[in-house]
Chains A and B, each alone.
Chain A
Amino acid sequence: MKLVIINYGSGNLRSVAKAFERAAGDCGWAGRIVVSEDPAQVRDADYIVLPGVGAFGDCARGLQALSGMDAAMQYAVREQKRPFLGICVGMQLMADRGLEHGVHQGLGWINGEVVEIERSDPQSKIPLMGWRIPHMGWNTLSLTGTGRAHPVLRGLAGGVHCYFVHSYHFAAGDTRDVLAETEYGGRLTAAIGRDNMLGVQFHPEKSQAAGLRLLADFLRWKP
């Protein structure tokens, strides 16, 4: 078994790899965890992870700059249907397009656009009610019906906290793809997915026990 974390010059690859190593140890997963920018590695990966930190456009450009990566991802994720996890901007890249500093094409795997979080009541300066951007810190996860049945997410039912830091969020074109939400001013998409594809806006690698549990369940996922 091999899990490949795609290295496209964006993101906290080291933290993601370390968290997967811990989760693998916790759940007795005996495969290899590889950080790579090589499309060949992605083609024969059993699990694929796309992390991402920063702006949508920068990340999209970084991914496109890796020659052959797009085709390798299409092959492994879309054709071979191997388990895929997008984290933060890696999740946002699954959308059709992102509207952060201009319009940028995404992978187009899940219907939707990545739009700016709307500030709630600009007059109200009460902290934590959706006025401050970025949405930064620990927020409660609220699973949808589909999310509660999802093998990777169902362990996070019951108001578990996860760590978020973002200013844009995934506005899904089809609400059936939304697996979890969180409340910040209004409702924000916290997890999205279809078939073998899963994306989380929060950072499982920074969400202590809850995050490690999600990563372990991802390693056990047989979609």
Chain B
Amino acid sequence: MLKVRIIPCLDVDKGRVVKGISFVNLVDAGDPVEQARRYDAEGADELCFLDITASHEARDTLYDIVTKTASQCFMPLTVGGGVRKVEDVRNLLLVGADKVAINTAAVTRRELVREAAEKFGSQCIVVAIDAKQARPGKWVIWTHGGRTATGIDAIDYAREIVALGAGEILLTSMDRDGTRSGFDLALTRAISDAVSVPVIASGGVGTLDHLTQGVIEGHASAVLAASIFHFGEFSIQQAKRHMADAGIAVRV
């Protein structure tokens, strides 16, 4: 039976992990490669690197991090941030990413999703959606790291990018991100039920129950979290045991 995936996410800024740096003192928690090794050893199901600077100069740093991680961690690796053209996707795959997440560029030019999926296969094209509630039952997507409103309906958009070839959706609730108050379950369920590809729930995890809710109530295929793992509060194994106790199939 297929298992629900738990995915720690590392936000990388100028080559350093930006969350939780001062809270973990076992290893240099600011070094993304070290963090990746720790999560690999803990049995994370995948890893996600999001380059939040995404400037031109930062690309080489990101490539270097992905190269080093991929040569040491034999697990699936999703990389995103600043992916604008097919060439960016190719470069990330070449240095060792297994999947590439496209966010703003997919909104501004939908054809990029089709081109990338045709070139490299849907299985490696993840579309990252940042959504915000407009009114109950209605969510709209934002771009440029949550700074630009588009007015585009999140459910319509999700259906559209899947039809273009996206193989997975990384769905972040901007209302919940950083609040530790749990996923936006209504949003997660609305998108998960609207599309046939796997959906990764993201944004707002503060407790292990939140992870469980994302799957049972949100219908997500995978759950992503950053701070509960970076801060050393919970280990991946604790999260998996908690989900298994709730009746969710996980890889332990």
Give the B-binding residues of A (Cβ under 8 A).
12, 14-15, 18-19, 22, 53-55, 58, 119, 125-128, 130-140, 161, 163-167, 183-184, 203, 205-208, 211-212
- Cβ of B168 within 8 Å of any chain A Cβ, yes or no, is yes
Give chain B residues whose Cβ lies under 8 Å from the Cβ of A164: 2
A166 to B2, CA, bound (A): 13
A166 to B251, CA, bound (A): 19
Give chain A residues whose Cβ lies under 8 Å from the Cβ of B193: 125
A127 touches B215 (CB 8 A): yes
A190 to B98, CA, bound (A): 20
B123 touches A128 (CB 8 A): no
Q: Mark B13-57, 1 if CB is under 8 A from A, else 0.
A: 000000000000000000000000000100101000000000000
Q: A211 touches which one: B74, B95, B197, B198 (CB < 8 A)?
A: B74
Q: Mark B233-250, 1 if CB is under 8 A from A, else 0.
A: 000000000000000010
Give chain B residues whose Cβ lies under 8 Å from the Cβ of A165: 76, 98, 123, 167
Give chain A residues whose Cβ lies under 8 Å from the Cβ of B122: 134, 167
Q: 15 A-B pairs, CB-CB below 8 angstroms? A: A53-B124, A54-B123, A127-B198, A127-B220, A128-B3, A130-B2, A133-B197, A134-B122, A134-B198, A140-B1, A161-B3, A164-B2, A165-B167, A167-B122, A206-B98
A54 to B99, CA, bound (A): 12
- Cβ of B222 within 8 Å of any chain A Cβ, yes or no, is yes
Assess A14 versus B74: contact at CB under 8 Å? Given A136-B123, A137-B222: no
A136 touches B168 (CB 8 A): yes
A58 to B120, CA, bound (A): 9
Shortest C-beta distance, A187 to chain B (Å), equals 12
Judged by DSSP, the binding face of B is loop
Closest to A210 in B: B74
Shortest C-beta distance, A210 to chain B (Å), equals 10
A139 touches B1 (CB 8 A): yes
Judged by DSSP, the binding face of A is mixed
- Cβ of B221 within 8 Å of any chain A Cβ, yes or no, is yes
Give chain B residues whose Cβ lies under 8 Å from the Cβ of A128: 1-4, 221, 249
Give chain B residues whose Cβ lies under 8 Å from the Cβ of A135: 2
A137 to B250, CA, bound (A): 11
A53 touches B1 (CB 8 A): no
A128 to B242, CA, bound (A): 18
Give chain A residues whose Cβ lies under 8 Å from the Cβ of B222: 137
Give chain A residues whose Cβ lies under 8 Å from the Cβ of B98: 12, 15, 165, 206
A131 to B168, CA, bound (A): 14
Q: A167 touches which one: B2, B71, B123, B219 (CB < 8 A)?
A: B123
- Cβ of B70 within 8 Å of any chain A Cβ, yes or no, is yes
A131 to B192, CA, bound (A): 11
A138 to B221, CA, bound (A): 11
A55 to B117, CA, bound (A): 10
A206 touches B75 (CB 8 A): yes
Closest to A136 in B: B198
Shortest C-beta distance, A40 to chain B (Å), equals 25
- Cβ of B96 within 8 Å of any chain A Cβ, yes or no, is yes
B198 touches A19 (CB 8 A): no
Instruction: List residues of B (217-231) whose CB comes within 8 Å of A's CBs.
Output: 219-222
B76 touches A206 (CB 8 A): yes
Those 9 A-B pairs whose CB atoms lie nearest each other, nearest first = A54-B121, A138-B251, A165-B123, A128-B2, A18-B71, A161-B251, A138-B3, A139-B2, A127-B221
Instruction: List residues of B (108-155) whose CB comes within 8 Å of A's CBs.
Output: 120-124
